[in-house]
Amino acid sequence: MGVGYISVPHAEHSCTMMGETHRPPHSDTQSLSGTTTMINTRLRSHTNNTRKRRVESTLRGVESTLTRVWDTLYQPKPIMPNMDRQAPGRSREPTAPMTPSMRDADAVATQTEALIREGDLEKACAILDPLAFGHTKFPILDRVGMRLGQTGLGNATLLEALDRMISRGSVGYYVIVGSALARRLGSNMATCLEKTAEYIVIGENWAKCDSIAERVWGEALVCDFPRAYKYLARMGDHDNRWIRRAVGVAVHYFAKRRPTAMAELRKLLVLLAPMLSEREYDAIKGIGWGFKTIGKYQPRLLTRFLENHVKRAHPTKLMLKKATTYLPAHTKQRLIGLRAKNS
């Protein structure tokens, strides 16, 4: 409700009653006028103070809101407690933890390597835990694994450390271990491929399976296709569904890295042909991913393959949906029709 003001007749104003003009006494009129002025002054002062308080309260609210927004958007999240930096010659003051950089990843890898050489694997993992269990970007984890794989650590020593890392159970460790094994493919491919299969079975998780299968089995196809292909051909009918899934993930990785290698892509389709009839959901997702990526870069090659195999393989709807993701709509409908006729 607004605040009103009082208005009274001026002292010189007059009023007419019953035909006679009456002028109010001068002293009474002057007193009433002064009282009215005082009341109006106080009312104005009260109104101004109220408005001022309301404005100040609003400004305090806006300032508090802006502070919270600033803290939310611009304050770095604690990821690596041991990565706080201190300028030389200055006293230590509490600082906000920083997002790890490639330089930080190199430093962590160096510390970890030294601890592995000393045989202190538990402390080595403790150094890596903030990265492996935090919301760390994969390129940072890949950098740590790459550095560990490129060190002069003996194969037996490195594999013992990698076994300990895998036992921690984090997807981040699967990225680190995968990158480390990928750097040893040239010198010890057979062992790297076998250890990858072992770790996939231990993981029993799609994220762990895909992370390490791309980095080791997929990279093996890129580095030495004949040897890797021969190994993966034996894994296609493995009892474990995650192993079968990993074969499709490796094919996806190769097709992404070598999209124009037609001879190799044809061989990989032959490798996947018996797996087209897969019935396990988790395996279908990975195998279908392999078909899908080939179809993205070589749609005609995949179309001809599916036209020749859909009738015999009777793939599930999910498998056919994944495999034909990048094919034209009319091609999808034709293949779905072929499946329906033979189901």
Q: For residue 143, report the phi and psi dihedrals to the nearest 5 degrees.
A: -65, -45
pLDDT exceeds cutoff 80 at 260: yes
Comparing 141-150, 183-192, 296-305, 309-318, the range with the smallest average pLDDT is 309-318
Which is nearest to 216 in space by CA: 146, 154, 268, 157?
146
pLDDT exceeds cutoff 90 at 250: yes
pLDDT exceeds cutoff 60 at 67: yes
Q: Provide the pLDDT for residue 71.
A: 58
* CB-count burial class (<10 Å; 0-12, 13-18, 19+) for 273: middle
pLDDT exceeds cutoff 90 at 217: yes
Amino acid at 69: V
Which is nearest to 269 in space by CA: 243, 246, 290?
290
Q: Provide the pLDDT for residue 15.
A: 46
pLDDT exceeds cutoff 60 at 253: yes
Q: Provide the pLDDT for residue 58.
A: 73
pLDDT exceeds cutoff 90 at 55: no
Q: How far apart are CA 294 and CA 155, in angstroms?
A: 35
Mean pLDDT score across all residues of the chain: 84
Share of the chain above pLDDT 90, in %: 66
Q: Provide the pLDDT for residue 13.
A: 45
Q: Provide the pLDDT for residue 312.
A: 87
* pLDDT band at residue 43 under the 50/70/90 scheme: low
* pLDDT band at residue 307 under the 50/70/90 scheme: very high
Contact 61, 75 (CB under 8 A): no
pLDDT exceeds cutoff 90 at 41: no
Mean of pLDDT values over 260-281: 97
**What radius of gyration, in Å, describes the C-alpha atoms of the chain?**
38
* pLDDT band at residue 338 under the 50/70/90 scheme: confident
DSSP letter assigned to residue 76:
P
| Close Cβ partners of 309 (under 8 Å, ≥ 6 residues apart) | 273, 276
Q: How far apart are CA 62 and CA 92, in angstroms?
A: 34
Comparing 33-47, 184-198, 200-214, the range with the smallest average pLDDT is 33-47
pLDDT exceeds cutoff 90 at 279: yes
Q: How far apart are CA 123 and CA 129, in angstroms?
A: 10
| Coil, helix or strand at residue 205 | coil
108-165 pLDDT, tens digit per residue, is 999 999 999 999 999 999 999 999 999 999 999 999 999 999 999 999 999 999 999 9
Q: How far apart are CA 264 and CA 283, in angstroms?
A: 22
pLDDT exceeds cutoff 90 at 42: no
Contact 81, 97 (CB under 8 A): yes
Task: Indicate the pTM of the whole model.
Answer: 0.72
Mean of pLDDT values over 43-48: 63
Contact 143, 102 (CB under 8 A): yes
Comparing 8-12, 27-31, 232-236, the range with the smallest average pLDDT is 8-12
Six-digit token pair at 273? 């042909």
Q: Provide the pLDDT for residue 54.
A: 74
Mean of pLDDT values over 274-283: 96
Which is nearest to 133 in space by CA: 100, 181, 90, 95?
100
